[in-house]
């Protein structure tokens, strides 16, 4: 089946996670995504398991992309970037506001040559904010938008960061939605546009609990229990009161409360009875049967090392093995999109720095080898010399 974005060209100047994740999603959907990497390399090349010079984090965010390494400080390098943007459909970047302008490849410059161009700019605080100048990573946004405070308050712990880059991935996901909307509008108007995506905006807009604090209201969502059972910890998506009621009516649990007991005694005895009833389940399968009987959502508090055994991820093929460039394979998350009449999915490993200098300039610009060699000799195009180039 056809990929939905076949034929779409994406020039990806972004680095780390906010931006590269958007490019990865577009690549999984069939776009030809070319990562433009600086000579110093993307910071994520330093994080995760390194196999054949490619780290796990870089691989996760950049799988399926081609790679061109441009030294934009060299005379003639900006001209190459402009030539590539002139034939691109989409440009991605996540520099601080003003950097692309200083480099000479901002939207005003690029769209003058390519009016159909769509540019997605992701930054911490947006391009027109009084804080636009501030550098930002995901934890900065997690702190500023209240997530760290809420997590500390809920868990009764000192403030700390979330164990994933929520602000980065939210900005990328909202950015992709905006890009696809802009592509649809371009089909109607014939013109592209610039998308200013703030990590603060994207994270705040996706926060389904912010309204409690903004309206100074009590968070009325239940505090759900995590229960220690002989075979591991289990999260049950309800409060203890409803859990007791369900187990009492449908799960074979008798009410242990003596007549006339006060409220605290009643709560303590019922909570103890709940724990004893759940511990009658000898394994996760029996617990699952019980939860099905009483019709409550639940989840095993799973060690991430065991994700390949998770039934849904396994059945839907969400963890795939791709070429590790060293004669073996390595695991990676696949595309989550399931179409009835199209396909999506990771289309290969991440590239070495500058691995596709030659093929991209040939495919996109039609440059001959001699012209590409001249740019290599001038230091405009750089590659990892130990790796074969195409």
Instruction: Give the single-character DSSP code of 51.
Output: B
- Active site includes 168? yes
* Cα 107 to Cα 122: distance, rounded to the nearest angstrom: 13
* Secondary structure (3-state) at 91: strand
The neighbour count for residue 121, using CB atoms within 10 Å, is: 25
Q: Among positive and negative, which fits the CA dihedral 361, 365, 368, 373? A: negative
Instruction: Give the single-character DSSP code of 92.
Output: E
Residue with tokens 């480099």: 103
Do residues 297 and 237 make contact, with C-beta atoms less than 8 angstroms apart? yes
* Cα 258 to Cα 252: distance, rounded to the nearest angstrom: 18
Q: Which of 262, 260, 256 is nearest to 274 (CA)?
A: 256
Q: Which of 215, 195, 281, 290 is nearest to 250 (CA)?
A: 290
Quickly list DSSP for 126-190.
Answer: -SSSTTTTS---HHHHHHHTTHHHHHHHHHTS-----SS-HHHHHHHHHHHHHHHHHHHHHHHHS
* Cα 68 to Cα 85: distance, rounded to the nearest angstrom: 13
* Cα 65 to Cα 360: distance, rounded to the nearest angstrom: 11
Catalytic residue among 89, 168, 201, 334: 168
- Would you please indicate which residues are annotated as catalytic (active-site) residues? 168
């Amino acid at each position: 089946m056809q990929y939905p974005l076949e034929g779409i060209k994406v020039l990806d100047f972004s680095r780390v996670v906010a931006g590269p994740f958007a490019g990865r999603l577009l690549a999984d959907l069939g776009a030809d995504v070319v990562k433009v990497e600086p000579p110093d390399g993307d910071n994520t090349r330093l994080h995760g398991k390194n196999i054949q010079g490619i780290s796990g984090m870089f691989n996760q965010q950049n799988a399926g992309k081609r790679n061109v390494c441009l030294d934009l400080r060299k005379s003639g390098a900006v001209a190459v970037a402009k030539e590539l943007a002139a034939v691109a459909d989409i440009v991605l970047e996540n520099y601080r506001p003003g950097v692309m302008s200083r480099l000479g490849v901002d939207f005003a410059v690029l769209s003058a040559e390519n009016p159909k161009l769509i540019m997605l700019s992701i930054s911490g605080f947006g391009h027109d904010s009084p804080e636009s100048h501030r550098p930002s990573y995901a934890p900065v946004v997690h702190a500023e938008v209240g997530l760290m405070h809420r997590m500390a308050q809920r868990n009764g712990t000192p403030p700390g960061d979330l164990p994933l880059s929520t602000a980065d991935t939210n900005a990328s996901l909202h950015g992709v939605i905006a890009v696809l909307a802009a592509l649809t509008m371009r089909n109607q108007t014939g013109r592209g546009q610039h998308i200013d995506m703030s990590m603060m905006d994207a994270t705040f807009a996706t926060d389904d609990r912010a309204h409690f604090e903004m309206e100074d209201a009590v968070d009325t969502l239940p505090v759900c229990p995590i229960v220690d059972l002989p075979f591991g910890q289990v999260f049950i998506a309800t409060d203890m009161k409803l859990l007791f009621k369900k187990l009492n009516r449908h799960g074979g649990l008798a009410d242990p409360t003596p007549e006339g007991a006060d409220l605290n005694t009643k709560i303590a005895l019922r909570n103890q009875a709940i724990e004893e009833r759940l511990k009658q389940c000898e394994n996760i399968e029996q617990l699952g049967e019980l939860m099905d009987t009483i019709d409550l959502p639940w989840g095993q508090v799973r060690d991430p090392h065991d994700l390949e055994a998770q039934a849904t991820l396994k059945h839907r093929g969400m963890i795939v093995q791709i070429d590790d460039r060293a004669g073996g394979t390595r695991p990676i998350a696949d595309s989550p999109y399931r179409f009835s009449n199209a396909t999506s999915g990771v289309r290969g490993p991440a590239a070495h720095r500058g691995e596709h200098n030659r093929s991209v300039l040939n495919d996109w610009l039609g440059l001959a080898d001699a012209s590409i060699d001249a740019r290599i000799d001038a230091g405009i195009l750089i590659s990892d010399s130990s790796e074969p180039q195409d």
